Chains A and B, each alone.
Chain A
């Protein structure tokens, strides 16, 4: 047992701290009036910085998670946007892709040269495989992919999109260039939070997919791509939730010391101090839990799946709680835009939905418990 970071983990953490130190990270409010192409410019610049440092290519584990958490502490949006490609999509490619596919697709994403997105959900199927209507049929040059994805984060700005769809033999991952004929990204949807992700629908009309851009198909009883995708999202959302909690704590603490009510700062009132104590308790507890889950996943612990779900549910639920408490301490100042806590409260709400929803995760946790006893 060792609760300290080892040297490699410390080095990685230092690396990310160095990158984000004294830098003007993407303004939390950049998207209020920004268009996808303007946001893409900011994102590309940061992905390149992160990619050049080697950070995006770091393997999963407590060190990577701690660094991602620290990045999210400064900019939850950037942490999430960078992980969609380098973690969620690249995990699938590195696990199931051929050597040629890894060479062709991993490097540009991990070097920060390309923005990546993942397209799985559909209006009528969510992320359920058997009702998924994105289908590829064979033609002379490969496959023709047709379907409609309802919510694709980074959709309008992505260079490459990992599309989950069905072939006769099972589910496959199709690596699609957004500029390909037949790929049509819709207007960004009005979302509660994470507006800079420009989540949009994507329509696919007979998109020609060459065989080297297909990973799979897989027999779903052996490889469950959707579940793997949700697990990756869970890890990402857990780290981002923890970073969000740190951010909210910073803001609330600062506000509690400064803003004055009846002649004393909010921190002069016991109820405010207790609220801050509860926020810190939830934040620290969540961090240890997500780090332990990351360690379990990286070390092949047999309880890793269940622990990962516990961590995701706990961290994302309590990020909402902590953001809400922070806003309450900041009062009207927290309720008005622009401020990071107002935004964090909206953003945090994605955590309980993305990947395995809290409800789905809780059912899986309970199934695991029932199996054991």
Chain B
């Protein structure tokens, strides 16, 4: 066993923390307050190479492995980047772009990946429906082939980047009776007739990521926008789980490191009863609990990333364990962080309030903790 990162990986992590700390973090609070997507920051992520990090160089990426990609996600959180921007990046790169890259044909890759990698285009994924969340087989959005076109009808909900996306990977069933086997994936571009998006939803956290419904009303798309073959969509959606349990949750782990740093600094400066509160055991214990969570979570996400690098099929049990742990066991240290900061933690200007709200998504997004427990108990 060897848990070391390479020198190059660690150097890149430092670079990302420095870059994000200087160029992105100072902008986060204002955008969060206004619930605005930070298009400039997103574009800078593309220019820095983060949006397309794991894609091949000929498609505008850097050819990084999965471990490095996850490490960069962790670095964004550790730098203090808000959960909303990190989520937008995750939905864009791993749920949209990677699906096109991994399952699309050469033409689709050439057409979309370089622009998605640079941030010129913004991507989203439409899977969840009002009546079909984790129960994907209950999907009602239909795709009917008519000649050289598909006609989509239905709606999607809770779609990250929905209001701002130029390209959507949309899942719809071509054969409802076939359940999972009928689900297929399509590329739908903004502006396509019959495709519209709802107003951004007001959310508790991750506010800088824009979330909305997607509507398909006799939305016609060219047949060549089908990704892979009909009926392969369910497997494609499942493969995004590998990213979801590693790269998409990595910023949450990184954010806890940022919170730990901020809490430690605050506790050293804040004096009560004639001494820094860092000298009180009750405060130290909270710092320790945060640190223990971080170290425990890291092992889980990098295990999934490393296995993906080895080309191994996703171990759904391990993936669910990672998601469940980071979702449910992060709440207590997040609460501890808030307590250390006291009244300041509760106020928007001190970041902790935002991080607390952003972190609450972890046990919900990408499959709730309850779904993870169902998966684990079924597989164990």
Give A residues with C-beta under 8 Å from B: 1-6, 9, 62-63, 253, 267, 273-274, 276-278, 280-281, 284-286, 288-289, 291-292, 295-296, 299, 301, 306-307, 310-311, 313-314, 359, 361-363, 365-370, 372-373
Contacts and interface: CB of A to CB of B under 8 A. Distances in A.
B306 interface: yes
Interface stretch (B159-167, B172-180, B370-378): B370-378
Contacts of B373: 273-274, 277-278
Given A288-B303, A310-B291, A310-B296, A370 B3 contact: no
Contacts of B296: 285-286, 288-289, 310, 314
Interface stretch (B75-83, B86-94, B126-134, B257-265): B257-265
A285 B328 CA distance: 13
B21 to A, nearest CB: 14
Contacts of A307: 295
B158 interface: no
B297, B318, B376 — which one has the most chain A CB atoms within 10 A of its CB? Answer: B376
Nearest to A292: B3
B2 A2 contact: yes
Name the interface size band of chain B: 35 or more
A366 B284 CA distance: 5
A2 B372 CA distance: 26
A1 B4 contact: yes
Contacts of A274: 370, 373-374, 377
B253 interface: no
B195 interface: no
Contacts of B2: 1-2, 295, 299
A4 B1 contact: yes
B312 to A, nearest CB: 10
Contacts of A306: 291
Tell me whether chain B's interface is mostly helix, strand or loop, or mixed.
helix
A301 B1 CA distance: 14
A365 B278 CA distance: 12
Nearest to A367: B284
B376 A280 contact: yes
B303 A313 contact: no
Contacts of B325: 281, 285
B302 interface: yes
Interface string B295-320: 11101101100110000000001101
A288 B300 contact: yes
19 contacts: A1-B4, A1-B306, A6-B1, A63-B1, A274-B373, A277-B377, A284-B318, A285-B297, A285-B325, A286-B296, A288-B300, A301-B4, A314-B296, A365-B287, A365-B288, A366-B278, A366-B291, A370-B264, A370-B284
Contacts of B272: none
A286 B296 CA distance: 7
A150 to B, nearest CB: 25
A3 B307 contact: yes
Interface in B252-290: 260-261, 264-265, 267-268, 278, 281, 283-285, 287-289
B350 interface: no
A292 B278 contact: no
Given A277-B373, A280-B380, A370 B268 contact: yes
A202 B303 CA distance: 46
Contacts of A292: 3, 295, 299
B5 interface: yes
Nearest to B6: A1
B24 interface: no
A373 B264 contact: yes
A253, A311, A366 — which one has the most chain B CB atoms within 10 A of its CB? Answer: A366
A372 B370 CA distance: 37
Contact of B321 (A276, A281, A367, A369): A281
B362 to A, nearest CB: 14
Sorted nearest first, the 3 A-B pairs with minimum C-beta distance are A366-B284, A288-B299, A273-B377
A1, A273, A368 — which one has the most chain B CB atoms within 10 A of its CB? Answer: A1
B281 to A, nearest CB: 7
A285 B294 CA distance: 11
A370 B267 contact: yes
A273 B296 CA distance: 23
B324 interface: yes
Contacts of B183: none
B246 to A, nearest CB: 12
Contact of A1 (B3, B260, B289): B3
B355 interface: no
Given A277-B373, A281-B324, A9 B1 contact: yes
Contact of B260 (A310, A311, A363, A369): A369
B67 interface: yes
Contacts of B380: 253, 276-277, 280
B376 A3 contact: no
Contacts of B264: 369-370, 372-373
